[in-house]
Amino acid sequence: GQQVMQSPQYQHVQEGEDFTTYCNSSTTLSNIQWYKQRPGGHPVFLIQLVKSGEVKKQKRLTFQFGEAKKNSSLHITATQTTDVGTYFCAGLNDYKLSFGAGTTVTVRA
Amino acid sequence: ETGVTQSPTHLIKTRGQQVTLRCSSQSGHNTVSWYQQALGQGPQFIFQYYREEENGRGNFPPRFSGLQFPNYSSELNVNALELDDSALYLCASRPDSYNEQFFGPGTRLTVL
């Protein structure tokens, strides 16, 4: 079955620094979605990427979908304490949304 | 706020018991999906309902079953609870033509 893998599992970032988290699928995806889950909370939708090579920006967050539609990345610039949480990518094929295990981000002030 | 509510917030059961979890979606959200999220893991797809019919299922045994009602509420039923069923159970709904999932706050189930 489809597997979605994320790396790194943990990201410890100094406030103000940049970092990137990566997502890879074992199969080609119809689209990829990114969610953020704060500690003790539930996943909240961030963005959806549909087209091969697509790049979307949300303020300090840049999302990219690979040319083969099997990988994606999330780059955060000038990390802030509000960026703390776990970032999940989720690949959509047919009706099924398959989540990766997430990258948990902590920020050092 | 996503407009999706779940009850109860927390639940403690013993092995072998049965449990029913409830979800209330926004009006017009015809698709509801249920997920199991173990500690430190991503949500795992259990099944999906569209207009009261199950139209997709993940790798979960038949003792996980569900219902969706015309008033945009839904249920997840789990029979013969096992210790490994301890997890956060999330429901997520969406309107037609949307892929974005609107998640509820979840029900934390502990099986002893």
At residue B16, the pLDDT reads 98
| Residues in chain B closer than 8 A to A93 (CB atoms) | none
CA distance A99 to chain B (A): 6
At residue A1, the pLDDT reads 66
Give Cα B73 distance to the centre of its chain.
11
Write out pLDDT tens, residues B11-51: 999 999 999 999 999 999 999 999 999 999 999 999 999 99
| Residues in chain A closer than 8 A to B42 (CB atoms) | 4, 6, 88, 90, 99-102
| Residues in chain B closer than 8 A to A41 (CB atoms) | 105
B87 within 8 A of B37, measured Cβ to Cβ: yes
A106 within 8 A of A14, measured Cβ to Cβ: no
Closest CA to A90 of A44, A40, A58: A44
At residue B58, the pLDDT reads 93
State the best of B91, B100, B108 to mutate against chain A, taking most chain A CBs within 10 Å: B100
In angstroms, the CA A93 to CA A76 distance is 27
Write out pLDDT tens, residues A26-44: 999 999 999 999 999 999 9
Query: What residues 47-76 of chain A have any CB closer than 8 A to a CB of chain B?
Result: 48
What is the phi/psi pair of residue A27, to 5°? -135, 165
Query: What residues 20-49 of chain A have any CB closer than 8 A to a CB of chain B?
Result: 31, 33, 35, 41-45, 48
Beta-carbon contacts of A81 under 8 Å, excluding residues fewer than 6 positions away, are: A15, A107, A109
Write out pLDDT tens, residues B68-99: 999 999 999 999 999 999 999 999 999 988 88
